[in-house]
Chains A and B, each alone.
Chain A
Amino acid sequence: MSAVSIVGVSKMFEKTRAVHIERLDIPSGQFFSILGPSGCGKTTLLRMIAGFESPSSGRILVNGDDITEKPPQDRGIGMVFQTYALFPHMTVYGNVAFGLEVRNTQKEEIRRRVWESLEAVDLVRKIDEHVPRLSGGEQQRVAVARALVLQPSILLFDEPLSNLDVSLRVKTREEIRALQRRTGITTVYVTHDQEEAMSLSDRIAVMRDGVLEQVGTPEEVYEQPVNPFVAKFLGGANLVEGHYAEKRFTAGKFAVSVRGAAKVPAGNATLAIRHEAIIVLPLKKAGTFSAVVQEKEYLGFTTNLILLLDGLEVHSSMVSSTFSNQLHVGDTVRIRFDMEMVKLFPGWRT
């Protein structure tokens, strides 16, 4: 059974439609990410599940119960806010105990459960600390402990890592994942960071302009994007607009033969070429195309190039090697495509 079902939900702000979702089912026990650029409606969707916004139409079901009309406090949902929203006038203990205290739980049990959930996030030693004195990462973990202590059926995260610096972000990401695995709690995680979504999730929903573009496992959305937007947003891709006819895609001087695109009708089409699908080779090697290096960006393990290829500017990414290290701006190179990572989509600009 699905832990959360969104059925025909739409949300209007004034006259603009922020969210419109025909159906979305979030399976029980999964780590589910909602991924999209800022302003795509992903946070609004999460806030509707939490009960801070009410849908203009449609139903939201949690474990089969219709909770659309319920106030947030009666939904049994835990939430970790982007700013953590820890109560600044309370200690770590006070924050974590809050939800139990308003439920009139017995003192002894509060003490025990607060201890347990702080143990889970490895913060017992900070139990009496005042919240403003904690570091960003510690505050984040208190926020998680505060949500977990109530043993909610669903845990919601609203971009919880966006206020942390990069190194801490990766570490906290791993902790969140481990915690979810251990507890098995259904988790809905909103983010605009595709790497975060890929690394954490069992399934990802990609959103744009309030609408779901694709739902699937990280592998599915990365390897079989349903449209150029998903291809570009997840993993990055060069989008080339051109024409498709008789198994050949052409855009100006650029032409390439594409197989296995039976579903694409002849006419306008968009070719999505992943950065790593462009295999750069020395000039003397055999290759279909030749290109000129416009820019080079050395990042250690990888090297990024901007290439001029038959009048097109394309981005490529490769593992650094002696060959790539010797490349200079202005050099001419040979190019091949890894056609597994090149996708053809009908039409332009979808």
Chain B
Amino acid sequence: MADLKSFLRISIVIPVAFAAVVILGYVLYPLFAMARESLLVHGVISFDRYAELLSWHNTGFWEAVLNSIVVSLATVVLSGVVGTLFAVTLTQCDFVGKKAIASLAVLPIGLPPLVGVISFLFVFGESGIIPRLLQQMFVSEESILGFDGFAAILMVHVYSFYVYTYLFLLPPLRNIDASLIEAASSVGAGAWTAFRRVILPEIRPALTGAALLTFMASMASFTAPFLFGGDKRFLTTLIYSTKLNGDIELAAAQSVLLGIASVMFFFFFRRTASTSTRAAKGSTRDGKITITPWPRRILIAGTIGVFVFELLPILTILMIAFAKEGSWTWQIFPASYTLENFHKLFYDAHVFEPILNSIMMSILTLVFCILVGVTVSYVIVRGSLGRWKAPVELLVNIPFALPGTIIAIGLLIVFNSSHILGGFAVLVGSFWILPIAYFARSYPLVVRSTSAALETLDGSLLEAGAALGAGFWSRLRKVVLPLIGSGIISGALLVSIASLGEFVSSILLYSLNNRPIAVEILSQMRMYNFGGAAAYCVFLLLLILGCVWGASFATSRLGHRQRK
């Protein structure tokens, strides 16, 4: 009896200890080491570096701060508008093609940032298809409407982040109680007043949450500023160039500042998210808000317009993937097409290598994310942590709030020399550093989705399992896992999407033996091999599509397993 108990205790303690060591050692410790490094001047703790960094004479830093804030605020406003447009149209209006648009509206979630940026470049960049088309139409010397700098960054941001507003608004807009509107109009409120006084308060928490998340994401955004920013520095690209210049301590200080800001925003975000649930009393009547024909037409037209604008880059990248090398120099569209780019992917081992790297590193990341993420969620939700629950949850989720650049800088600092956590080897420059970075960036995705599933798991089901004679592991295997499986799978899907196309921390940490797809796409672009870059992008999208398919297959299997 006592033996059995101690066995159980050990078999639970081992995964928990493993998860704790992994998170403390490879996620939180590097952040701590980064903070320490930023404070060390010739081996002594000093705030001199921060004083210098924050002084008003350091215009480079303040410009980067300003640029980041301005572009992020603009992103919040614009993606808020687009996301609201989509959400309102797709919940309140009926029109042909609505289903197709609704199912493709979340597409940007599956689109790796770099692929988004590159495909935008092909369509709207200075030598993109549309500016060339316009240039030819209006016989101009210069390219027309070629997006660059701020405008381009903003467009890519809106493209990638409007999904937050859209997804946040869907539930409240779907559940809007039509009788509220009717009540408002029965006491004499016009349409606008009804919207402002009745609907807006209902969706305000969702809008605030989405705005904070969008702001965080665009402050953390690296890829768009990196490729479109030109001379302009943003906080993330500033950290990158500081590191390239060899001043890792300064990069650490810059990272700490950006990190503190990010965590603060994350904290606010969680506060708004937790207060946003409203309890409806009495029975509500779901229904659509009556919108008069003209505003309705404008909404639908706007949504379809933005949707086409959103599809163009994907279609373009598909087209360019088939372009013959050197056949797209001054022409509007590539002159000749070929399968050669894809042929090379499979038959040229050197070309295939980045794909193999990304797949292997993603599998590694996935395995560790699931092992650690599920254990951590279990401890958070069912571990009776009492008042420690909230702080532990916040700490575990911190990487979710941090830009990939910061995580990479932290890992660089710890693993630039031999370290016990790296098995006394220098991990920077080795294969292992990227899977570690991917893990640190994405395990919170599994924690969040699994915790959500665990929260809704009825505790009496576990008691029923016990009463029926099932021990801890039987209950875990036969009751808990099947019920939270879909939560784990959806988290795992997000992890694989994030890792397969990861660029932000890869660009700081990659080496010859682990060069991932995203980094290779960039070097193809730099060599003006657009067809090759596009082929990589398309292959990456296919891999992600495969993951999406695999996840939905696995989820449906979960449902079938117990059927006779």
Question: Shortest CB–CB separation between residue A279 and chain B, in angstroms?
Answer: 45
Is B422 among interface residues, defined by CB-CB distance under 8 A? no
* Residues of B with C-beta under 8 A to A85: 458, 460-461, 463-464
| Also in contact, A81 and B564, with CB within 8 A (given A88-B483, A98-B470, A150-B469) | no
Apart from A81-B464, A103-B469, A150-B469, what are 15 other A-B pairs with CB-CB below 8 Å? A51-B466, A72-B463, A74-B469, A83-B458, A83-B460, A85-B458, A85-B460, A85-B461, A85-B463, A89-B559, A91-B562, A98-B478, A102-B468, A147-B468, A150-B468
Whether, in the assembled complex, A94 has its beta carbon less than 8 Å from a beta carbon of chain B, the answer is yes
Chain B: minimal CB distance from A254 (Å)? 44
Distance of B477 from chain A, by nearest CB (Å): 10
Tell me, yes or no, whether B482 is within 8 Å of chain A by CB: yes
CB distance from B277 to the nearest CB of A (A): 22
Contact with B along A45-87 (1 / 0, CB 8 A): 0000011100000000000000001011110011101110111
What residue of chain A has the Cβ atom nearest to residue B464's Cβ? A85
Query: CA of A78 to CA of B463 in the docked complex: distance in angstroms?
Result: 11
By a CB distance below 8 angstroms, the chain A residues around B51 are none
Contacts of B360 in A (CB 8 A): none
Contact A99 B468 (CB under 8 A): yes
Q: Quick one: which of B460, B463, B464, B563 has the most chain A CB within 10 A?
A: B464
A146 within 8 A of B: yes
**Which residues of B have CB within 8 Å of A98?**
465, 468, 470, 478
Q: Is B100 located at the chain interface by the 8 A CB criterion?
A: no
- Give residues 468-490 of B contacting A (CB, 8 Å): 468-471, 474, 478-479, 482-483
Taking a contact as CB atoms under 8 Å apart, the answer to whether A87 and B479 are in contact is yes
Q: B527 on the interface (CB 8 Å rule)?
A: no
Which A residues are in CB contact (< 8 Å) with B468? 73, 98-99, 102, 146-147, 150
A residues adjacent to B (C-beta < 8 A): 50-52, 69, 71-74, 77-79, 81-83, 85-91, 93-94, 98-99, 101-103, 128, 130, 146-147, 150
Assembly CA distance A102 to B477 (angstroms): 11
Chain B residues lying within 8 Å of A52, measured Cβ to Cβ, are 463, 466
- Separation of A78 and B483 alpha carbons in the complex (Å): 23
Taken residue by residue from 347 to 370, chain B's Cβ proximity to chain A (1 for < 8 Å, 0 otherwise) reads as: 000000000000000000000000
Provide the residues of chain B in CB contact with A91, threshold 8 Å.
Answer: 562-564
Please provide the chain B residues from 157 to 186 with a CB less than 8 Å away from any CB of chain A in the complex: none
Say yes or no: A73-B467 contact (C-beta < 8 A), given A85-B461, A89-B483. yes
B558 is an interface residue with CB less than 8 A from chain A: yes
Q: In the docked arrangement, what's the CA distance between A24 and B482, Å?
A: 40
Q: Which residues of B contact A77 (CB under 8 A)?
A: 467
- Kindly state the separation between the CA atoms of A88 and B458 in the bound complex, as whole angstroms: 10
- B463 CB contacts on chain A under 8 angstroms: 50, 52, 72, 79, 81, 85
Q: Are A93 and B564 in contact (CB under 8 A)?
A: yes
The reply to whether B470 and A73 contact each other, CB–CB distance below 8 Å, is yes
> Given the complex, which residues of B lie within 8 Å of A81, measured CB to CB?
460, 463-464
Q: Which residues of chain A are within 8 angstroms of B467 by Cβ–Cβ distance? A: 50-51, 72-73, 77-79, 147
Bound-state Cα–Cα, A94 to B559, Å? 13
Q: A313 vs B418: C-alpha distance in the bound complex, in angstroms?
A: 87
The complex places the Cα of A198 from the Cα of B1 at a distance, in Å, of 41
In contact, B464 and A73 (Cβ under 8 angstroms): no
CA distance A139 to B413 in the complex (A): 59
What class of interface size applies to chain B in its complex with A? 20 to 34
Q: Could you list 8 A-B pairs, sorted by A, with CB under 8 Å? A: A51-B466, A72-B467, A73-B466, A73-B470, A73-B471, A81-B464, A85-B460, A86-B464
* Chain B residues positioned under 8 Å from A50 (CB to CB): 463, 467
Q: Name the CB-closest residue of A to B481.
A: A89
B558 touching A89 by the CB < 8 A rule? yes
A102 near B460 (CB under 8 angstroms)? no
Cβ of B478: which chain A residues have Cβ within 8 Å of it?
Answer: 98, 101-102
Query: A71 — which chain B residues lie within 8 A by C-beta?
Result: 466, 471
CB distance from B517 to the nearest CB of A (A): 37
When C-beta atoms are compared, the residue in chain A nearest to B473 turns out to be: A102
A104 and B260 CA atoms in complex are apart in Å by 54
> Whole-angstrom distance between the alpha carbons of A88 and B469 in the complex?
18
* Nearest-CB residue, chain B, relative to A143: B464
The minimal Cβ–Cβ distance linking B560 to chain A, given in whole angstroms, is 10
Q: How far is the CA of A52 from the CA of B463 in the complex (A)?
A: 7
Assembled-state Cα–Cα distance A128/B560 (Å):
12
Min CB distance B488 to A, Å, is 14
10 closest residue pairs by CB, A with B: A99-B468, A85-B464, A72-B466, A85-B460, A79-B467, A102-B470, A90-B562, A94-B562, A73-B469, A89-B482
Contact partners of A82 in chain B: CB under 8 A? 460
Least distance between A61 CB and chain B CB atoms (Å): 17
Question: How many whole Å from B197's CB to the nearest CB in chain A?
Answer: 39
Q: How far is the CB of A130 from chain B (nearest CB, A)?
A: 8
**A128: which B residues are within 8 A, CB to CB?**
563-564
Instruction: Give complex CA distance A146, B467 in Å.
Output: 10
Asked if A102 and B474 make an inter-chain contact with CB atoms under 8 angstroms apart, the answer reads: yes
Per-position binary interface string of chain B over residues 531-564, scored 1 when its CB falls under 8 Å from any chain A CB and 0 otherwise: 0000000000000000000000000001101111
Distance, CA A4 to CA B463, complexed state (A): 20
Residues of A within 8 A of B470 (CB): 73, 98-99, 102
Q: Nearest B residue to A47 by beta-carbon distance?
A: B463
> With the chains together, A147 CA to B463 CA distance in Å?
12
Per the bound structure, the CA–CA distance linking A89 and B315 in Å amounts to: 41
With a 10 A CB-CB cut-off, give which of B463, B466, B469, B559 has the most chain A CB atoms: B469
Per the bound structure, the CA–CA distance linking A130 and B564 in Å amounts to 10
- Closest Cβ of chain B: how far from A140's Cβ, in Å? 13
A90: chain B residues at CB < 8 Å are 562
Residues of A within 8 A of B461 (CB): 85, 87
Contact with A along B440-465 (1 / 0, CB 8 A): 00000000000000000010110111
Cα A77 to Cα B474 in complex, Å, equals 18
Which residues in A have their C-beta under 8 angstroms from that of B561? 89
The residues of B that contact A51 with a CB separation of less than 8 Å are 466-467
CB distance from B158 to the nearest CB of A (A): 40
CA A3 to CA B558, docked complex, whole Å: 41
- Inter-chain contacts of A83 with B (CB < 8 A): 458, 460
Question: A297 vs B479: C-alpha distance in the bound complex, in angstroms?
Answer: 50
Nearest chain B CB to A109 CB, angstrom units: 15
Instruction: List residues of chain A with CB within 8 A of the CB of B483.
Output: 87-89
Closest residue of chain A to B467 (Cβ to Cβ) is A79
The smallest C-beta distance from B214 to any residue of chain A, in angstroms, reads 36
Q: A89-B483, A89-B559, A93-B564 are in contact. Are A102 and B464 (CB under 8 A)?
A: no
Residue of A nearest to B482 (CB): A89
A333 to chain B, nearest CB (A): 42
Given A88-B483, A89-B483, A128-B564, A99–B469 Cβ distance below 8 Å? yes
Q: Which residues of chain A are near B474, meaning CB under 8 Å?
A: 102
With most chain A CB atoms within 10 A of its CB, the pick from B464, B467, B479, B482 is B467
Interface string of B493-514 (1 = CB under 8 A from A): 0000000000000000000000
Interface string of B418-433 (1 = CB under 8 A from A): 0000000000000000
B83-122: which residues lie under 8 A (CB-CB) from chain A? none
B369 to chain A, nearest CB (A): 24
Q: How far is the CB of B415 from chain A (nearest CB, A)?
A: 43
A8 to B435, CA, bound (A): 58
**Residues on A with beta carbons closer than 8 Å to the beta carbon of B562:** 89-91, 94
Q: What is the chain B residue whose CB lies nearest that of A92?
A: B564
Q: Nearest-CB distance from A144 to chain B (Å)?
A: 12
Considering residues A72, A83, A91, A101, which has the most beta carbons from chain B within 10 angstroms of its beta carbon? A72
Query: In the complex, what residues of B have CB within 8 A of residue A73's CB?
Result: 466-471
Q: What is the bound-complex CA distance between A146 and B470, given in angstroms?
A: 13
Chain A residues whose C-beta falls within 8 Å of the C-beta of B466 in the assembled complex: 51-52, 71-73
Q: What residues of B have a CB within 8 angstroms of the CB of A72 in the complex?
A: 463, 466-467
Measured CB to CB, the nearest residue on chain B to A71 is: B466
Q: How far is the CB of B545 from chain A (nearest CB, A)?
A: 28
Taken together as a complex, chains A and B put the C-alpha atoms of A85 and B460 apart, in Å, by 6
B485 to chain A, nearest CB (A): 9
Cα A325 to Cα B41 in complex, Å, equals 98
- Give the nearest-CB partner of A50 in chain B: B467
